[in-house]
Amino acid sequence: MSDKLTHLNSQGHAHMVDVSDKDMTKRIATAQATLTMQATTLTKIIEGGLPKGDVLATARIAGIQAAKKTSDLIPLCHPLMLTKVTVDINVISDCELEVLCTCSLSGKTGVEMEALTGASIAALTLYDMCKAVDKGIVIQNVSLLEKKGGKSGHWSKGDV
Q: What residues act catalytically?
A: 128
**Amino acid at position 101, single letter:** C
Q: Give the Cα separation of 69 and 46 in Å (integer).
A: 29
* Residue 108 in the binding site for a second copy (CB under 8 A): yes
Query: Is the CB of 46 or the CB of 93 nearer to a second copy?
Result: 46
Q: Give the Cα separation of 46 and 23 in Å (integer).
A: 45
* Residue 112 in the binding site for a second copy (CB under 8 A): yes
The answer to the question of whether 15 is labelled as a binding residue is no
* Residue 120 in the binding site for a second copy (CB under 8 A): yes
* Dihedral angle sign, alpha carbons of residues 65, 66, 67, 71: positive
* Residue 43 in the binding site for a second copy (CB under 8 A): no
Q: Residues with Cβ < 8 Å from 109, sequence gap 6 or more?
A: 19, 22, 27, 78, 80, 150
- Work out the angle at residue 59's Cα, subtended by the Cα atoms of residues 55 and 65, and round it to the nearest 5 degrees: 145
User: According to CB under 8 A, which residues from 13 to 42 bind a second copy?
Assistant: 13-20, 22, 26
User: According to CB under 8 A, which residues from 55 to 74 bind a second copy?
Assistant: 55-58, 60-62, 64-66, 68-69, 71-74
Cβ(103)–Cβ(82) below 8 Å: yes
> 46, 83, 91, 148: which one contacts a second copy (CB under 8 A)?
83
* Residue 80 in the binding site for a second copy (CB under 8 A): yes
Query: Is the CB of 93 or the CB of 156 nearer to a second copy?
Result: 156
Binding residues are 76-78, 113-114
